[in-house]
Amino acid sequence: MIFETFNVAGLGCNSYMVGSDGEVVVVDPQRDIDVYLKAAERLHVRIIAVVETHLHADHVSGGRDLAAATGASLHVHEAAHAAYPHRAMRDGDMMRAGSMSFKVIHTPGHTPESVCLLVESRELSAPRLLSGDTLFVGDVGRPDLTGNEAARGLASMLYKSLFEKVVKLRDDVVVYPGHGEGSLCGSRSIGGGATTTIGQERRVNHAMQPSSESAFVDRIIAGLPEPPADFHRIKQTNRSGPAPLRSIEPRALTGAEAREAVTKGAVVLDARPKPATFAAGHVAGSVWVCPEGPFATRAAWFTPRGTPIVLVVDSDAAARNAARALCRVGVDEVLGWIQGGVDAWRAAGGEVATVAEVSPATIASKSLRVIDVRETHEWQAGHVDGATHVPLGRLAERLSEIDRKTPLAVMCASGNRSITAVSFLRAKGITNVQNAIGGFVAWKESQKPVSMANK
């Protein structure tokens, strides 16, 4: 029996390879499919089918590439209206891989086409549920990623899916969700742990508690976090069918080559680990994004599609990791990385800039206008009185709201996301901006006034 999990750090995405007797099914493959090809070779199995539990909105799928590379059939629910060749799944459909049977359970709610797969076999002590984005550890899929206007209708569908289908499964069914902790696809905050059971979720999951449909819908809609800015584009990419993945081996560029690329319209993305390093000296006009955590998701917010990207990183390996992460969210335009980094850029005559930083005391004494780029729930828990709230993921689309004349201090929780925001604002010509040292944590620790009002 084969039941392997593949996790993408930073996106919180899970995919699965399941089967026996030399045959496996891959469920929700990531875009860089080499991990499945290598696993199949290692396990001496043949990938006979690829299944998408839904059209993903947080990452570009590798389903088409994997099916093409292996000759496997590609399965998507008929409600997806996918625009590429596939086999349309329906509720109750069955497929097999060796002794493993896979039953399709249509569970609309996160999206209209969402499905779960109930896996059964004589080799399993209890059935397993590949739950996609319907059921997570301690949470369920958010219903607003096809648009706010459809959210209430999808939340009603989710209620029916949970209480008419999922909750009726045996308590001992082991749940393997499509996302884990750190994903933005949950209606609240997805819990830790790789698996759960139907019985456990029936007891502790906020969405699985007995409720009327109307109360459930109101509760789900009211608690939704800010929708990520790039999700609509990714979902449309997965509906139409991603282009085949090109090489994700960025080449080393000299400082002169990097300057020439920027002159021709390339943007510079700085993915060095420490924000302080960026603040002390960086390629003028570059945007910094922390390479840890949701690097690719955040980088996609600030890198226009179709525009070549030049990376500033510490090594060839870091460049490959960054390019691989970016391709997973559909950012395929990485041209290369500057070998020698900022020093090579400077030696080639490129301009180097720094980021000014400002303390809580200075913010208060100079009455600087604060731009708070934290998430809504962080803002509501406390913020600087008079600050303007612009979540980092919405900064690009709300750029016109930023006052270009007033001196600004950008704040997040601890000073990480704010450096990204400052670098982006400066790249867009808003130069009268400083980074709030230590973020809101430092503000509170300095005993400055905190407003709790939801402004």
- Told to judge if 412 belongs to the known catalytic residues of this protein, a careful annotator would answer yes
- The C-alpha atoms of residue 398 and residue 421 are separated, in whole angstroms, by 12
> Minimal CA–CA distance to 53: which of 120, 128, 104, 121?
104
- The C-alpha atoms of residue 323 and residue 337 are separated, in whole angstroms, by 10
Q: Helix, strand, or coil here: 440?
A: helix
Contacts of 71 (CB under 8 A, 6+ apart): none
DSSP states of 293-312: SSHHHHHHHTS-TTS-EEEE
Q: Helix, strand, or coil here: 332?
A: coil
Q: Helix, strand, or coil here: 290?
A: coil
> Minimal CA–CA distance to 374: which of 388, 363, 360, 386?
388
Q: Helix, strand, or coil here: 363?
A: helix
Q: Helix, strand, or coil here: 254?
A: coil
Task: Please count the other Cβ atoms lying within 10 Å of the Cβ belonging to residue 354.
Answer: 11
Burial class (CB in 10 A: 0-12, 13-18, 19+), 222: exposed
**CA 130 to each of CA 2, 27, 173, 434: distance values in angstroms, whole numbers, following the listed order:** 14, 8, 10, 47
Torsion of CA 149, 153, 154, 158, to 10 degrees: 150
- Rounded to whole angstroms, the maximal C-alpha distance in the chain is 71
Which amino acids are annotated catalytic? 412
